[in-house]
Structure 1
Amino acid sequence: MIRHLVLFKLNDGVKRDDPQVVAGAKAFQELSEKIPELEFWECAWNITDRPIAYDFAINSAVVDEDALKRYIEHPAHQDAAGQWRAFATWVIADYPF
């Protein structure tokens, strides 16, 4: 199995209730229903407010690197990630477990 973690930081001045952000979060929340490669999926807003904290997180898992590639290339994932490019930056970690 491969764990796929993503942490998102909203750009300066962007708020969680911005319509673009709300739509982007919804797009990620719906991915588990659209991408069969996902063995595990959760995403949520961070509940702490610290200077080093990121704003939104995805914690997911796929069976292997081929499944991870299919997930990344899936049109629903590309659409969701594309929405976030307009208002956030992110970091990723993929590791076997």
Structure 2
Amino acid sequence: MIRHLVLFKLNDGVSKDDPRIPAAVAAFEKVGTAVPQLREWQIGWNITDRDIAYDFAINSLVEDREALQSYLTHPEHVAAAQLWREFATWVIADFEV
């Protein structure tokens, strides 16, 4: 199994009330039900206020590297990531569990 973590940081000048954000969050909500390779799918806003904190997170689980690649190239994932590129940057970690 592979745990796929993504942490998003809103770009300077962008806040959670930006009008683009509801559609971007909804797109990632849809990914959780649209991608059959996902074994687990959690998304959410950071609840702490620290300088080093990121703003939004994805925590997901897939079976193996092939499933991870299928997820990454799935049209729903690609579309959702494109929306987030407009106002955020992110870091990822993929590790075996």
Query: Is TM-score (shorter-chain normalized) higher than 0.5?
Result: yes
**Distance of 2:28 and 2:17 partners within structure 1:** 16
Task: Tell me the TM-score normalized by structure 1.
Answer: 0.98
The residue that corresponds to 1:75 in the other structure is 75
**Distance of 2:41 and 2:72 partners within structure 1:** 14
Q: Which runs of 4+ in 1 moved over 3 A?
A: none
**Distance of 1:69 and 1:27 partners within structure 2:** 19
Residue 51 of structure 1 and its aligned partner are, at CA, apart by 0.6
**Distance of 1:88 and 1:16 partners within structure 2:** 11
The residue that corresponds to 1:26 in the other structure is 26
Query: How do 1:49-60 residues align onto structure 2 when only pairs under 5 Å count?
Result: 49-60=49-60
**Long gaps (5+) in structure 1:** none
The residue that corresponds to 2:62 in the other structure is 62
Q: Which range moves more in the overlay, 59-68 or 10-19?
A: 10-19
1:35 counterpart = 2:35: yes
Residue 18 of structure 1 and its aligned partner are, at CA, apart by 1.1
The residue that corresponds to 2:17 in the other structure is 17
**Distance of 2:44 and 2:26 partners within structure 1:** 10
Residue 88 of structure 1 and its aligned partner are, at CA, apart by 0.2
Task: Tell me the TM-score normalized by structure 2.
Answer: 0.98
**Distance of 1:30 and 1:45 partners within structure 2:** 16
The residue that corresponds to 1:5 in the other structure is 5
Residue 83 of structure 1 and its aligned partner are, at CA, apart by 0.3
